[in-house]
């Protein structure tokens, strides 16, 4: 044992006088992050047809929760939230393939993280941006207040080639003993509302937030329809990134956590001057006042501060796109902070 101890001490002495090698994370291969810097822009894949999440405004500027998240990443990496190029795809399959082939840097497209979208593919989810669940919307004058009252009704739902909504609705109806006539709609999204307005069905089923958005923006009288209270599924909506660049995944994931942590720490785009005077250790680390995290991510220490300053914390982004500051007026629900009974929970900044 003494010989082993002496050997250890000798090695410790050598280590004390030998310059330390850079840690393994100091210079990783980061093809996506390097590509973003070389191009000077973040390529953001979005759906582009769902107001509140991603849709162009009257001036053609892409707006929504998904779009603003990509702006936050651009602010963190490039120091400029405007350096984003938005890319749409003709189908869900094409969207997923575009991120697998690294044709987009982030796919922020109102998509659920599922086992089959993660396992065996060259893409990875990068944190939950919004918690949702599939719901059903019906006409307000139909006298329907719960899923159990849908027996015998025709429900428009996206076709299987679009997403898994039809299978979820079929399973829920069987489980609750409700006899439905399912009307598949090939395009999903706004096409569901078109079919609903045309009288092709008595109700429409999709993610509840999408229904609330389409109700507010695509119906002449939003009060003419109601979204039933039941949620038929779990839909954690997540950005996806290429699976071959873990450093880029870390940047995107921690940008999302930074936006949520900023809300929890009561940091907003309009009060950062006050936050910069804070003695709170997590606040200081998040804002780069106490350095370290920026270097570990390969970013300036001010990366999170720029995302918050230019785009806002999670609450600001939610409110202007989906909440009280928007025509949609959506309640935070499960996407509220854990301190208020929601599921949004930032990883610790330390």
Where does a domain end: 185, 207, 233?
Answer: 233
Res 327 pLDDT > 80: yes
What average pLDDT does the segment 167-193 reach? 90
pLDDT in the model for residue 29? 66
**In-domain check, residue 69:** yes
Give 221's DSSP letter. S
Res 181 pLDDT > 80: yes
pLDDT in the model for residue 291? 86
Question: pLDDT averaged over the chain?
Answer: 89
Rounded to whole angstroms, the Cα distance separating 180 from 236 reads 26
What average pLDDT does the segment 112-138 reach? 94
CATH of the domain at 224: 3.40.190.10
Res 147 pLDDT > 90: yes
Read off the tokens for 59.
């001036």
What average pLDDT does the segment 256-268 reach? 97
- Is 109:45 a contact under the CB 8 Å cutoff? yes
**In-domain check, residue 83:** yes
Rounded to whole angstroms, the Cα distance separating 15 from 20 reads 7
**In-domain check, residue 74:** yes
Together in a domain, 193 and 257: no
Q: Greater confidence, 17 or 67?
A: 67
The parent domain of residue 83 ranges over 31-131+237-340
List the single range of 69-83, 96-110, 182-196, 263-277 with lowest mean pLDDT: 182-196
Together in a domain, 320 and 245: yes
What average pLDDT does the segment 1-9 reach? 37
What is the pLDDT confidence band of residue 90, given thresholds at 50, 70 and 90? Answer: confident
Together in a domain, 333 and 243: yes
Together in a domain, 127 and 141: no
Res 8 pLDDT > 60: no
Where does a domain end: 206, 233, 260?
Answer: 233
List of residues 6+ apart from 37 with CB closer than 8 A: 77, 78
3-state percent breakdown (helix, strand, coil) of the chain, nearest 5: 45, 15, 40
pLDDT in the model for residue 201? 95
**In-domain check, residue 307:** yes
- 287, burial (CB in 10 Å: exposed 0-12, middle 13-18, buried 19+): buried
Closest Cα to residue 314, out of 336, 285, 290, 288? Answer: 336
pLDDT in the model for residue 164? 87
Together in a domain, 107 and 223: no
Res 100 pLDDT > 90: yes
pLDDT in the model for residue 332? 94
Res 6 pLDDT > 50: no
Alpha-carbon torsion (212, 195, 152, 174), positive or negative = negative
**In-domain check, residue 35:** yes
Q: Considering its fold, how many domains does the chain have in total?
A: 2
Where does a domain end: 204, 233, 262?
Answer: 233
What average pLDDT does the segment 186-194 reach? 85
pLDDT in the model for residue 190? 84
Three-state SS for 250? Answer: helix
pLDDT in the model for residue 17? 36
List of residues 6+ apart from 152 with CB closer than 8 A: 179, 180, 181
Together in a domain, 127 and 270: yes
Number of helices (H), then strands (E), belonging to the chain: the values are 14, 14
Res 32 pLDDT > 50: yes
What average pLDDT does the segment 222-242 reach? 95
Together in a domain, 40 and 114: yes
Phi-psi region of 19 (alpha: psi -120 to 50; beta: other; left: phi over 0): beta
Report the DSSP beta bridge partners of residue 81.
none
pLDDT in the model for residue 28? 57
Res 5 pLDDT > 50: no
List the single range of 5-9, 154-158, 289-293 with lowest mean pLDDT: 5-9
């Amino acid at each position: 044992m003494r010989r082993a101890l002496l050997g250890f001490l000798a090695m410790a002495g050598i280590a004390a006088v030998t310059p330390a090698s850079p840690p393994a994370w100091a210079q990783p291969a980061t093809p996506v992050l390097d590509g973003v810097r070389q191009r000077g822009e973040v390529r953001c894949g979005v759906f582009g047809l769902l107001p509140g999440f991603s849709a162009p405004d009257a001036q053609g500027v892409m707006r929504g929760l998904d779009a603003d998240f990509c702006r936050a990443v651009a602010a963190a990496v490039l120091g400029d939230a405007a350096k984003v190029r938005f890319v749409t795809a003709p189908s869900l399959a094409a969207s997923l393939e575009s991120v697998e082939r690294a044709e987009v840097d982030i796919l922020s497209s109102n998509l659920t993280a599922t086992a089959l979208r993660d396992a065996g593919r060259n893409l990875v989810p990068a944190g939950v941006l919004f918690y949702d669940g599939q719901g059903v919307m019906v006409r307000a004058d139909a006298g329907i207040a719960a899923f159990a009252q849908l027996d015998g009704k025709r429900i428009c739902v996206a076709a299987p080639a679009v997403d898994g909504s039809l299978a979820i609705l079929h399973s829920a109806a069987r489980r609750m003993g409700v006899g439905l006539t399912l009307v598949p709609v090939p395009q999903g999204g706004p096409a569901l509302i078109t079919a609903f307005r045309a009288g092709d069905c008595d109700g429409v089923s999709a993610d509840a937030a999408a229904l609330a958005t389409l109700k507010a923006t695509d119906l002449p009288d939003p009060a003419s329809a109601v979204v039933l209270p039941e949620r038929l599924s779990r839909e954690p909506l997540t950005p996806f990134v290429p699976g071959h660049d873990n450093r880029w995944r870390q940047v995107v994931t921690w940008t999302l956590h930074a936006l949520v942590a900023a809300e929890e720490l009561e940091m907003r785009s309009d009060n950062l001057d006050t936050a910069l005077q804070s003695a709170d250790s997590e606040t200081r680390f998040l804002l780069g006042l106490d350095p370290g995290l920026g270097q570990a991510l390969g970013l300036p220490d001010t990366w999170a501060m720029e995302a918050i300053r230019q785009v806002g914390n999670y609450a600001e982004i939610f409110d202007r796109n989906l909440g009280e500051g928007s025509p949609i007026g959506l309640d935070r629900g499960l996407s509220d902070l854990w301190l208020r009974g929601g599921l949004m929970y930032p990883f610790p900044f330390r």
